[in-house]
Structure 1
Amino acid sequence: MNEHLDRLSPQPLWRHFRTLCETPRPSGHEAALAARLEAWADAQGLAHERDAFGNLLIRKPASPGHEQAPGVIFQGHLDMVPQANSDHPHDFTRDPIETYLDDEGWLRARNTTLGADNGLGVAAALAILEDDELIHGPLEAIFTLEEESGMGGALNLAEGWLQGHYLLNLDSEDRGEVFIGCAGGTDVVVEAQLPTAALADDEVTLRLSLTGLRGGHSGIDIDKGRGNANRLLVRVMRVLERLDARLTSYQGGTLRNALPREALAILALPEEELEAAKAEVAELQATLRKEFAGVDDALSLSLESVEMPADEPLTGQATHLLLAALHAAPCGVERMSQEVPGVVETSNNLGVVSLAAGRFHLGALVRSLHDSAAQDLADRLRAVFELTGAKVRLENGYPGWTPQPGSELLTRFQRVHHEQLGSEPAVKVIHAGLECGILDGKYPALEMISFGPLIRGAHSPDERVEVASVEEFWTLLRALVEDLTR
């Protein structure tokens, strides 16, 4: 599988990426990949070690005569976001990723996320470590775990472990750009046991589904105007509530850092309101398609009868309070940055919503360039759901990365970019969680930048990478490493 990757250039990088595609690695399941990389390091004669959390560090001595050059650290994460189309069964803990090249020069996966985020950064670091023609100072590659599920690897990274002076984070997704700052964030987890009541004799059971949204990265794509399946299905349910609909179960989204593409609710409804409900859903589908034309053109709403489930529906009052809280909860862009024009400052993603047997769960991810603003928005979410009696906790908080626009590393990167590619890179701050903010807190003396090839659709089955940009990325990375030895 994926033999065509061996024919792409630069071959060493794509060979390593093929290994990553064929080694399952969703968050929390990186052990097999880490073991393969340790075996590879042994075969290369490279020193390696793991910290208590399991993060992997590989070291390579400097080229002869360059032992005193500042050390360079490559940084990326081993895990990937596991997202598949609903009609495509895929076990991300066992099944490899099947890739293909489209007619426009993009590498994609069949019906799943590709794992270019951050597989290509990891592959590039490995290819550099085995490049015996490259002139370099001391090299380190730090590969963290569980980045996508809460930055666990970076948050638990051993202190006093890294020795280098410059850190190159290889987890960005835009050619011609270099990132020097990023948003911090925190998870908001809401849980409640809600009261239920037996199905009445005059009630029927229905399945309400919303599908066809594009989804995407909850940071990078939050300002693209794409629909959030949880937000939209709650909007539909609010209308059906007027017809005395009661929620029985709900499932929307799979990851707190991915824009939810689909949501499904089982509800109870007085049989006499069935035709009115179907008419409302048809009208809402037309309304939403008009609102999201050109963005989510495949949006689809359906309402169909199903057999009575084992679970009782929520009471009417519990349904009302839950839908009201979800409808009032902040979702999407909260504020644009005044300091960095065109960049989102603060946002929230209603990522995962579930209800079963009266047990409600919400997993949301708040992001902001200002830690204080992230804390405030998270507290607003807490306030909304505590009004319903739910328990709310904030966890996996991580700091933003404060820009250093005058750093020596950035100056060198800008010069090398111009020399190699003939253009000046755009210097940017990203509304996404890079591990640099956490690493900056643990290693404040490090100078850091982040760059990578052109990736689009991360965190969704539409994820793809422009093959030509990977070769540019590789050329730039090699040239920068050699420049940093001088």
Structure 2
Amino acid sequence: MLKCRPLFLPYIKPQEPVVSALATLYPQPLWQWFGQICAIPHPSKYEQALSQHIQAWARDKGLTVQEDKVGNLIIKKPATAGFENRKTVVIQAHLDMVPQKNADKVHDFTKDPIEAYVDGDWVKANGTTLGADNGIGMASALAILGSDDIKHGPLEVLLTIDEEAGMTGAFGVEPGMLEAEILINTDSEQEGEIYMGCAGGVDAEFTVPAQWQAPAAGVTALTLSLTGLKGGHSGVNIHLGRGNANKLLARFLADNASRLELSVAAFNGGSLRNAIPREASVTLTVPAAKLSQLQQQVADYQALLQQELAAVEPALKLSLAETTLPAQVLTAEVQARLVNLLNVCPNGVMRMSDDIAGVVETSLNMGVITTTEGSVQLLCLIRSLIDSGREQVEGMLSSLAQLAGVPVKFSGAYPGWKPDPASPVMAIVKDTYQAIYNKAPVIMVIHAGLECGLFKKPYPDMDMVSIGPTIRFPHGPDEMVNITTVGQYWELLLAVLERIPEREAA
């Protein structure tokens, strides 16, 4: 049974009202902080308000706080009495959250607070991502910094920026910023699992140059939309067989554009390269004489998808609505190039790991399609536990680009975190979990881009581990965090800090 320690922080007034229901949950200091985090907008690229709030609080507490040149925060706290000779530990989380919302939700992630609420044993958000990824980890670190009765050695907290949109903060971490020998990453999303490795990745961007022509006479303009998909994290959820809105609409166009004489004016879908696209839309024209055929094909395609994806996408919906006639549509040649490229582009699991049962080795997410005056762009994210797997998919996409006659650019490559089965801190976490819960945790490698791989470059000898509570459907509006497991994660984190060994004598 979970032990409830009487750990309380003085209430800290946030810039916006704390979500009152959260502040009563256990552990109270963590949930108070998470309420404040929800109240202050902090999507990727817009973390400064939250960063400034944390800095002001840290200085008021008498803690040492530093903002590095890219915007990461490093906050340091001395050891509690009797723990001065323990190894220094850095608790690490990221400041930003993924901004995703349902189509009917009015919400500005740069201005509006997250509307979190309690539903049974879960905390959810009203129509948007919750930001439990990685707000719970951040809240736990800040709660420990603010406590006077948690036992720990010398402590550092590293809060990085822009993890969800390029890992800018992790790339900017430099040697000498941290003194710690041990790093505890808090960005894992399953209680009872200890992560000792993660995938690396690289962005791939196709650009299809646009050429335009006037719409034909006697056509009707329509918007074909696909909504209601679950989406989710393009690493953690990629093996679940969920629909990719971009791929599904591309499939429809490949089957119907030529015979129904459809002309595409715009194709837009997805919003983040690391989120499985939940929604996509195509603005198109159709000869008036073929409108009824198009309507029937859309109805038939929806029925087909509802049959194929019944188990994973029960809310899938295709809709066709008349719209204003566009001033221009893509030429037949460019449209054919675009549709064929999107239809044949790989998506999903490329290969499962031979070494770690049930873990994806290599994957590709066809994340974002954007139409502009000059081009249609497709942004994908390749992930792999091994460099050769990533390079193989890069080669596939390069070949595809050559066949399509369009350029592809690879950027933002980041390394994986190679598992270390002999990791001392992993052994501590494993033994501590066993002692608390009388069962063994699962040692895992995650198919997602934890920042640990990037930290290994400036700190190659740092011993690392990743833990966290159970978070479902991160990167989508269905995101939720399990309240009981937050308490379990908190108990584990505090017990591990208490068990950190002493520094070796010089």
TM-score (norm 2): 0.94
Q: Give distance in 2, aligned partners of 1:203 and 1:159.
A: 62
Distance between the aligned counterparts of 2:399 and 2:111, measured in 1? 41
Letter of the 1:243 partner, please give it.
Answer: L
Does residue 122 in structure 1 map to residue 138 in structure 2?
Answer: yes
Query: For residue 341 of structure 1, what is the amino acid of its counterpart?
Result: A
**Partner residue of 1:307 out of 306, 314, 324:** 324
Query: Contact between 1:244 and 1:316, CA under 8 Å: does it hold in 2?
Result: no
Q: Which residue of 1 aligns with 2:209?
A: 193
Q: Are the counterparts in 2 of residues 250 and 356 from structure 1 also a CA contact under 8 Å?
A: no
| Counterpart check, 1:316 vs 2:332 | yes
Question: Equivalences for 1:74-473 in 2 at 5 Å?
Answer: 74-102=91-119, 104-241=120-257, 242-310=259-327, 312-357=328-373, 359-473=375-489
Cα shift at 1:407:
1.2
**Partner of 1:54 in structure 2?**
71
| Counterpart amino acid of residue 141 in structure 2 | A
3-state DSSP of counterpart to 2:34: helix
In the other structure, the counterpart of 1:4 is 21
Which amino acid is 1:17 matched to? F
How far the C-alpha of 1:485 sits from its partner, in A, is 4.4
Which whole-Å CA distance do the structure 2 matches of 1:236 and 1:212 have between them? 17
Name 2:9's counterpart in structure 1. Answer: none
Q: CA deviation at 1:170?
A: 0.2
TM-fit CA distance, 1:434: 0.3
Paired residue type of 1:20: I
Q: Kindly provide the CA deviation profile for residues 118-151 of structure 1, in whole angstroms up to 9, marking residues without a partner as x.
A: 0000000111112211221110000000000011
Looking at structure 2, the residues matched to 307 and 198 of structure 1 have their Cα atoms a distance apart, in angstroms, of 14
User: What is the count of residue pairs matched by the alignment?
Assistant: 484
Q: Provide the rounded CA distance (Å) in 2 between the counterparts of 1:378 and 1:143.
A: 31
3-state DSSP of counterpart to 2:83: coil
Q: What is the distance in 2 between the residues matched to 1:66 and 1:96?
A: 39
**How far is 1:457 from its partner?**
0.7
Whole-angstrom distance in 2 between the partners of 1:44 and 1:425: 35
How far apart are the structure 1 equivalents of 2:247 and 2:45?
28
SS of the residue 1:223 aligns to = helix
TM-fit CA distance, 1:317: 1.6
Unaligned ranges ≥5, structure 1: none
Q: Which amino acid aligns with 2:338?
A: L
* Structure 2 Cα separation of the partners of residues 232 and 358 of structure 1: 24
Hey, what's the Cα distance between the residues in 1 that align with 2:409 and 2:154? Answer: 43
SS at match of 1:127: helix
Question: What is the TM-score when the length of structure 1 is the normalising length?
Answer: 0.98
Shift of 1:330: 1.0
> Hey, which bits of structure 1, 4+ residues long, moved more than 3 A?
386-389
Are 2:86 and 1:69 aligned?
A: yes
Aligned partner of 1:259: which letter?
I
Partner of 2:212, secondary structure, is coil
Using the TM superposition, name which of 362-371 and 107-116 deviates more: 362-371
Question: Are the equivalent residues in 2 in contact too, given 1:313–1:358 (CA < 8 A)?
Answer: no
Does the CA-based 8 Å contact 1:100-1:110 persist in structure 2?
yes
Contact 1:184 1:432 in 2 (8 A): yes
Q: Kindly report the root-mean-square deviation, in angstroms, between the aligned alpha carbons of the 2 structures.
A: 1.2
Q: Secondary structure of 2:240's partner?
A: coil
CA contact (8 A) 2:208 2:338 kept: no
Unaligned runs of at least 5 residues, structure 2: 1-16
**Counterparts of 2:454 and 2:71, CA distance in 1:** 17
What CA distance in whole angstroms lies between the structure 2 residues aligned with 1:334 and 1:453?
28
Is 1:15 aligned with 2:32?
yes
The answer (yes or no) to whether the contact 2:204–2:411 under 8 Å persists in 1 is: yes
| Residue type at the aligned position of 1:462 | D
Residues in 2 aligned to 1:379 and 1:198: alpha-carbon distance in whole angstroms: 37
Residue identity over aligned pairs, in percent, reads: 45
